[in-house]
Amino acid sequence: MLWLSFARKYYVLTQAILYFCFISATSNCLANELQAGRFFSTIFSNTEVKWSGYTGLELRTFQNGPQYSGQSGRTNLSFVLQPELYLSLTDRNGSLRFTPFFRVDEHDGDRSHYDIRELLWEKVGRDWELRAGIGKVFWGVTESQHLVDIINQTDLAESSDGEDKLGQPMINLALIRDWGTIDLFVLPGFRERTFPGVEGRLRTQPRVDNDQRSYQSSRKKKHIDYAIRWSHSVGDWDMGVSHFIGTSRDPSLVAGTDHTNQTVFIPFYNLIHQTGLDIQATKENWLWKLEAIRRTGQGTSYNAATAGLEYTFYGIVESATDLGIVLEYLYDNRGDAAPTALQDDVMLAARFTLNDVQSTEALIGVIVDDRSHARALSIEASRRLGNSWKLGIEARAYQNFPASDLLYTIRNDDYIQIDLNYYF
């Protein structure tokens, strides 16, 4: 009902204003205390302390009304807070970083969540680095998807593009040599993928029932995973080779029923081996990119790859603006049997960088299926407002997807998203 929708928006907005006022009022004072070392003076000595982060509001407006029972309407408001505390333990040659994350969503209870993105201690030696705690690791070079990026779990409730990740418990030892860097990982705790809830938009139909998830390993979330990666730069070439052994971050979705006898998808987490390769070559205005994997243990063994290029025109029309043209091909040898929409697709995008004081930039792209000619369009743009504010705009649209495609279930979820964040 209209009054209930208004009440929800008022509740979320009120919470956001209260949080924002609290952060605005205390951040400068707390930062001064931290910088002066007084806040942790009884715990740490000779410690450099930095306090930063952001908080803000996100508004999503959908072009169409909800398609499935229980989903929210055409607008959705949410509040986000991500502070960061950094301690440089100068007398111990180490550091500690703490980055919690909070989101309060107007409609979707599964999207209202919190996470520790990082709680990581790091010590640096002459030719080695040691990290322990909860951290984030990124591998990959391509724009459209990151096949080799397997350490952290995807926070799918946060965003549908797969770019947001949950913090991962880890011990990471990096051995730095002239012939490259070897990263060794022990991953002692598994993070389950988050999904939109019953009330959320951009969800599958049937919905994913996380309460019934299951594992191939009898140890479930306690299974210990391992990974190793060699990386090196030679001239214009940056390359990496990795291998992962453990629980797949991509669950298989198995049809089942919930407690009300409704059909649902149940996540099943396989044990897998994955070998990955990522290469990027920088040749004047050109970037040549490749990510490729081979995975076993999740059904039939398969290969997948994303390859492409980016060419940048610097100072177009005698201005400070740069224009980059991105072209990538996405391949999965399982074809239509692949549990992904990206298995025989082409991405074309344009990246605008204005190189102005406000750091204005935009990425406009489309992914086209080679067989069905279905299209997924996206726009991502951002601009700083003054010294502390940042405005972001995101839009996504899904066109001509056949019923056999995984993205068919979100065909009515075209949306425009506006983010206004305050950085402190």
- CA 397/CA 413 separation, integer angstroms: 7
pLDDT per position as a tens digit, 133-164? 999 999 999 999 999 999 999 999 998 888 99
Q: With the C-alpha atoms ordered 72, 76, 79, 84, is the resulting torsion angle positive or negative? A: positive
pLDDT per position as a tens digit, 272-282? 999 999 999 99
Is 60 exceeded by the pLDDT of residue 10?
A: no
Q: What is the structure's pLDDT at 301?
A: 96
pLDDT per position as a tens digit, 87-119? 998 766 799 999 999 999 999 999 999 999 999
Q: Where are the domains of the chain?
A: 108-304, 314-424
Question: Does the global pTM surpass 0.85?
Answer: yes
Is 90 exceeded by the pLDDT of residue 25?
A: no
- Kindly report the average pLDDT of the chain as a whole number: 90
- CA 160/CA 164 separation, integer angstroms: 9
**3-state SS class at 392:** strand
Residue with more model confidence, 45 or 355: 355
Q: What is the structure's pLDDT at 340?
A: 80
Weakest mean pLDDT among 18-22, 68-72, 174-178, 209-213:
18-22
- CA 414/CA 224 separation, integer angstroms: 39
Place of tokens 């990581």: 120
Residue with more model confidence, 338 or 378: 378
Is 50 exceeded by the pLDDT of residue 208?
A: yes
Q: What is the structure's pLDDT at 392?
A: 98
How far apart, in Å, are the Cα atoms of 253 and each of 68, 70, 165, 209, 222? 19, 21, 20, 10, 21
Q: What is the structure's pLDDT at 91?
A: 63
Q: What percent of the chain has pLDDT over 90?
A: 80
